[in-house]
Amino acid sequence: MPIYEYKCKKCGKEYEMFQRITASDRTSCKFCKGPAQKLISRTTFHLKGSGW
């Protein structure tokens, strides 16, 4: 299951959620119930070696 990052527009807290790919986005903050926005996260995928 992928990990998605969210940030609350009301309290400013950032948090991670395990969610299925088919699940709808979480639209409320798990702390204050304010509006939350899904963040675009950096990937940790890295190709090494001379062939890339």
For the stretch 8-47, pLDDT in tens is 999 999 999 999 989 988 889 999 999 999 998 877 778 8
Q: Is 49 a residue whose pLDDT tops 90?
A: no
Instruction: Report the pLDDT value the prediction gives residue 1, as an integer from 0 to 100.
Output: 80
**Among 15, 18, 10, which residue's Cα sits nearest to residue 30?**
15
pLDDT band for position 50 (cuts 50, 70, 90): confident
d(CA 52, CA 49) in angstroms, rounded, equals: 7
| 48 — pLDDT class (breaks 50, 70, 90) | confident
Q: Where are the chain's structural domains?
A: 3-35
